Amino acid sequence: MAEAHPVGFRWAMKAKERGATIIHVDPRFSRTSALADIWVPLRAGTDIAFLGGLIRHLIENDLFFREYVVPYTNASCILSDEYRDPEDNGDGYFSGWDEEKRAYEDDSWLYKGGDLSRPERDLTLQHPQCVFQKLKRHFSRYKPEMVEKICGIPPQLFHKVADALVAASGPKKTAAVCYAVGWTQHSKGVQIIRAAAILQLLLGNIGRPGGGILALRGHASIQGSTDIPTLYDILPGYLTMPHKGDETLQQYLDNYTKKTGLWSGYPKYMVSTLKAYYGKRATAENDFGYSWLPKLTGNHSFFEFLYDMLDGKMEGMFLMGQNPAVGAPNSRLQRKALSKLKWLVVRDMVEIESANFWRESPEIDRGELKAEDIETEVFFFPAAGHAEKEGAFTNTQRLLQWREKAVDPPGDCRSEAWFMHQLALRLMAKAKASTDPIDESLRALDWWYPEDELGDPNMEAVLAEINGWYTDPVAGGGDSGRTDGIVFGRDREGNPHHGKQVNGFAELKADGSTASGCWIYSGVLGRDGENKANLRKSKDYLGHGWGFAWPSDRRIIYNRASARPDGSPWSEQKKLVWWDSEKWTGIDVPGFVKGKPPDYEPEVGAEGLDAIPGDAPFILHEDGLGWLYVPKGLKDGPLPTHYEPLESPVSNELYSHETNPAVHWFTRSENRYAPPGDAKFPFVLTTYRLTEHHTAGGMSRFLSHLAELQPEMFAEISPELARDLKISNGDYICIVTLRGAIEARALVSRRIRPLHLDGKTLHQVALPYHYGTAGVVRGDAANDLLTISGEPNVTIMEAKALTCNIMPGRLPRGRAFAEFLNEYAPQSGLTDLHPEQPAKGGEKMHSHAQEGKT
């Protein structure tokens, strides 16, 4: 946290000053460890074993926050008799596994009776089929001794952590868990976060001030680009992208609308999105243009379409502020894939590696690619910087913050908004001149935005659309003073376009009378005409009055849990939201129906939020409960389970299956995995960020003031490993995996410690991943060494735990490289070296990633 989010760490330091204990769990001793009270080194990729050990410790010793857990979580819910746990056979599989599909059927994971809205409960937590008992059994073997065997954390250190956590739990205390990609970039990344969620629910740390599980996100608007996604599988506000087979709007809504909880409003959110996209062309008669939305036919995420690029099936690519030639896994393959495109648009502030791979890249240097053979047409558009355009970022805490424009961008530099607007105008003009039915979606697109003299669309107008409005235009388009609830009202040509703004998503309708580009952002620009993302007067410690937090400016979600079941605060120190005998009130905006009393009991058959009891804080869930156990929605099991990384130096101590069964391996000859315990790759490899650099380096390696602070690629190794390999600090070394080899300087430090697993010494190697072939300072890209793999739920790669070998000396350049690589990492032979890996084409669920697919 100190390393990659220094100003965020300010608050951790503030807490420490006030007596908090900081525990840092990381394979390497980083700048965060230096300031922590306890540093817990562990083997990369074993987090579930560690967290599972803590969960077991809380349960076995009755140390969990029972007053919180019993009413607020699904600990008491009774599961289906069909449910089978990995413990039952010790094989690592849950019930429902389909070997043919390499996927789970999840029916057996449901609550008894299959209804998620009104689960049967046993508040004594004794029923053998209740979640609590299943959870207890699931983690029963995750004892401190097992944690030591798997993670390398000695029991004494484990207990220090457990004691600190227990001491910070209860009515008067909370603890927060902060994580970043060190937890997500694993073959079971989602389940690692789930394990933290279980821990925090057991400790009563969700929905309360000072609690939570805080994702520390690495880009200025990575949260925003998930909320308003540039992702394939969701629409704004986490609505599901329609799939093939969701033929009509009704079918689609039937498939994704929940009967109870906040998602019961799904039709309102969806129809309002369609109205924002297609404007007056979206009518009840044409399903609000639903058929124009493309339908998914499988997984269309980046790695899937990357393989299409490699196979020459992708014609064109728009690359806007991302640098896969350095920043994406198996970057040798990434650069090769770029060279197979017909055309490529790159928008960036500097000439990144992904823009000039055809001219300067290791592949050109090694003679693997030649400029004269590369057909790709490349358009490099210089981009405007953050001070040269207005708009909002959404930060890691869901806070929308507006940026005012300071100056015009220099030369040809323009914003992405300008580019999209100008491209849209051109494409829509082509569509207008065409009669092809496939162009109907383009003709229908509501592209009304007023523009300035540079041709930039008005960003507040876009924000107004995201917020939402009543669709009926007011005659004349409203006054211009924003006093009538209409903020824009007129389109680019001056025609009346829409009516008053909505004040929040509660006003949205499913009948086409409202439009909203992102329902969860609704309220950011309401009828008072105030751009709340640009508010700059913080009024309280939660920061109300500064920016706008979705939803509804709520700073801590599920904050009903900050009060006891009876509605009174857990304690004076931790009061946040409470029931004042008529309504919910407090320091934060209550995340609950304002007038719903704590003792409210829904009637049988109640729907929507009416079905959520007065003591059920988790209103997005159909049962209103915090899910220790996930009865529906995950692809790799309802409970986190320890699996070894896809590349691991050791075998799974707990189950006969080594790895997450549902993972995507992306089997391909250039993307091979070393089998477990492969002596050719004896060391654990992990990658990380440095404070002085930013991601793939486009915003840091080119700046002298940052580049000089970390000017060269290095690898961190322990003095013990250095001694074994006869390496001195500062020596050049080569790090080799089956995917590639890179050169780095050895930084020998006690900050990396050998681990002792079951009497065996294990070494870890840590690499920063910022370097590439362009910029002021250059170096090999750590991502050349990584595999492309897909966590089952979200298709994120395992970047934090692999295996490697180290060869002292310089890496051969030019054509000698191939020979070197082949010597230490044989490049021919089987593509599926790992025994649990399907052969190529063996992952039938995929729509893209099959070599040779037609």
Partner 1 sequence: MIGEGSHSTNQRRHNYVQENVEVGFFTDPTVCIGCKACEVACKEWNQVPDDGFTWSGNSYDNTGHLGASTWRHVMFVEQDRRKGNQIVGSHSLGNGDGDPSAGASAKAEDPFRWVFLSDVCKHCEEAGCLEACPTGSIVRTEVGSVLVQNDVCNGCGYCVVSCPFGVIDRRPSPLPDAGGAFKCTFCYDRQKSGLVPACAKVCPTESIVFGRLDDLRAQAAKRVQQLQEAGYQDAQLYDPTETSVRGIHAFFLILGEPEAYGLPPKPQIPTIYLKSAWTSAFATAIAAVIATLCAFAFL
Partner 2 sequence: MASLTALLSKWPLIRQIRERADGTGLEAMSDKTRAMHARTDDAQVAHSICPYCGVGCAQLIFHKDGKLISIEGDPESPISQGNLCPKGAASYQLLTHSRRETKMKYRAPRAKEWTEISLERALDLVADRAWESRKRTFVHEQNGATINHTTAMCHLGGATLDNEENYLIKKLFTAGLGMVCVSNQARI
* By the rule CB under 8 A, 705 interacts with partner 1: yes
Spatial separation of the C-alpha atoms in residues 20 and 14, rounded to whole Å: 9
Q: How far is the CB of 676 from partner 1 (least distance, A)?
A: 22
* By the rule CB under 8 A, 717 interacts with partner 1: no
- Interface pick for partner 2 out of 76, 174, 187, 221 (rule CB under 8 A): 221
Residue 682 site contact among partner 2, partner 1, none (CB < 5 to 8 Å, cut-off depends on kind) = none
* By the rule CB under 8 A, 537 interacts with partner 1: no
Handedness of CA 469, 474, 479, 485 (dihedral sign): negative
User: Within a 10 A sphere around the Cβ of 113, how many other Cβ atoms?
Assistant: 11
Q: Is the peptide bond before 551 cis (omega within 30 degrees of 0)?
A: yes
Asked if residue 788 lies in contact with residue 797, where contact means CB atoms within 8 angstroms, the answer is: yes
Q: Which two tokens stand for residue 310?
A: 């490699």
CA 553 vs CA 480, 587, 620: distances in Å = 27, 12, 16
* By the rule CB under 8 A, 776 interacts with partner 1: yes
Can you list the alpha helix ranges (DSSP code H) found in 37-154? 47-60, 66-72, 86-89, 131-138, 144-151
Look at residues 642, 666, 644, 663 and name the one whose alpha carbon lies nearest to residue 803.
Answer: 644
* By the rule CB under 8 A, 452 interacts with partner 2: no
What track of x and - describes contact with partner 2 for positions 811 through 850 (by CB under 8 A)? ------------------------------------xx--
Site for partner 1 in 144-163 (CB under 8 A): 148, 152-157, 160
Q: How far is the CB of 60 from partner 1 (least distance, A)?
A: 18
Ordered DSSP codes for 711-755: -S-EEEE-HHHHHHHT--TT-EEEEE-SS-EEEEEEEE-TTB--E
Residue 783 site contact among partner 1, partner 2, none (CB < 5 to 8 Å, cut-off depends on kind) = none
* By the rule CB under 8 A, 609 interacts with partner 2: no
CB under 8 A: which stretch of 247-255, 274-282, 558-566, 700-708 binds partner 1?
700-708
* By the rule CB under 8 A, 382 interacts with partner 2: yes
Spatial separation of the C-alpha atoms in residues 58 and 165, rounded to whole Å: 10
Q: How far is the CB of 696 from partner 1 (least distance, A)?
A: 19
Look at residues 83, 226, 120, 157 and name the one whose alpha carbon lies nearest to residue 630.
Answer: 83
Given the DSSP bridges, would you call strands 177-179 and 213-215 parallel, antiparallel or unpaired?
A: parallel
What track of x and - describes contact with partner 1 for positions 23 through 42 (by CB under 8 A)? ------x-xxxxxxxxxxx-
* By the rule CB under 8 A, 433 interacts with partner 2: no
In 3-state terms the chain splits into helix, strand, coil percentages (rounded to 5) of: 30, 15, 55
Q: How far is the CB of 364 from partner 2 (least distance, A)?
A: 10
- Interface pick for partner 2 out of 272, 562, 700, 837 (rule CB under 8 A): 700
* By the rule CB under 8 A, 769 interacts with partner 1: no
What track of x and - describes contact with partner 1 for positions 734 through 753 (by CB under 8 A)? -----------x-x-xxx-x
CB under 8 A: which stretch of 213-221, 589-597, 717-725, 822-830 binds partner 2?
213-221
Ordered DSSP codes for 156-182: HHHHHHHHHHHHT-BTTB---EEE-HH
Spatial separation of the C-alpha atoms in residues 696 and 132, rounded to whole Å: 43
Nearer to partner 2, 810 or 844 (CB): 844
* By the rule CB under 8 A, 407 interacts with partner 1: no
Spatial separation of the C-alpha atoms in residues 631 and 105, rounded to whole Å: 12
Q: How far is the CB of 289 from partner 2 (least distance, A)?
A: 8
β-strand partners of 343: 316, 377
Residue 219 site contact among partner 2, partner 1, none (CB < 5 to 8 Å, cut-off depends on kind) = partner 2
Q: How far is the CB of 519 from partner 2 (least distance, A)?
A: 13
- 706 DSSP assignment: H
Residue 254 site contact among partner 1, partner 2, none (CB < 5 to 8 Å, cut-off depends on kind) = none
* By the rule CB under 8 A, 50 interacts with partner 1: no
* By the rule CB under 8 A, 756 interacts with partner 1: yes
Binding site for partner 1 (CB under 8 A): 2, 6-7, 9-11, 13-14, 17, 29, 31-41, 148, 152-157, 160, 690-692, 704-712, 714, 729-730, 745, 747, 749-751, 753, 755-756, 759, 776-777
